[in-house]
Amino acid sequence: MEKHRSYGSVLFSCLKIIVKTFPIVPRTTKITKVKAGKKKLTVKWNKKVLSSGGYLMQYSLSPKFTNATKVRITGSGTTSRTFKNLKSGKTYYIRIQVSGKSKADGKYYYSAWSPIMKQNPVQQKQREADPFGNASLCSLFDRMSLRFPCKTKSFSQFTS
């Protein structure tokens, strides 16, 4: 038996309505390029148009991502990110996933992780000093229009 309630001139019937909601999981994206710089890495990936939440990226020194650094990237239009102050000579593992925010419950839902990419930041090149202490003279000659080779054993070869 149904119960009826009257509110003004509108009549409501108390029926049992079942509403089922389910999250729509975003599709996975793919890292397209990892470029190494001086103690930095620039990561590029494919844009996912339907992503309203952005991306979640992880990078770590471990392939199992223990002690990984997580970076949330807002906005679906972003397709690259640069990580600075990294340790040169170490291999970094990077992965990304697409995040989407549900309008129904406000929670974030994530795609599966992308395939893992790995890369080493480039070490900064240091100028080699002349073993005989002529580094300052070599740099002076490098700046002059006369180009003397500075990889000789002794500077006296040029003066005699």
CATH code, domain with 53: 2.60.40.10
24 is a domain residue: no
**Global pTM?**
0.61
User: Structural domain tally of the chain?
Assistant: 1
Per DSSP, what are the bridge partners of residue 43? Answer: 34, 81
62 is a domain residue: yes
155 is a domain residue: no
Q: What is the pLDDT of residue 1?
A: 47
Q: What is the pLDDT of residue 63?
A: 92
Q: What is the pLDDT of residue 83?
A: 92
What's the alpha-carbon Rg for the chain, to the nearest Å? 30
* Side-chain-side CA neighbours of residue 153 (13 Å): 0
How many CB atoms are located within 10 Å of the residue 42 CB?
15
Q: What is the pLDDT of residue 95?
A: 95
132 is a domain residue: no
18 is a domain residue: no
Extract the tokens encoding 5.
Answer: 């309630």
- Give the domain range for residue 80: 31-119
Q: What is the pLDDT of residue 129?
A: 46
> pLDDT tens digits for the chain (160 residues)?
445 444 455 555 666 777 776 667 788 889 999 998 888 999 999 887 565 678 999 999 999 999 999 999 887 788 899 999 998 888 999 999 988 877 777 788 888 999 999 888 875 554 444 455 445 455 545 544 444 555 555 555 555 5
64 is a domain residue: yes
Helix (H), strand (E) at residue 159: helix 156-159
16 is a domain residue: no
55 is a domain residue: yes
Q: What is the pLDDT of residue 57?
A: 93
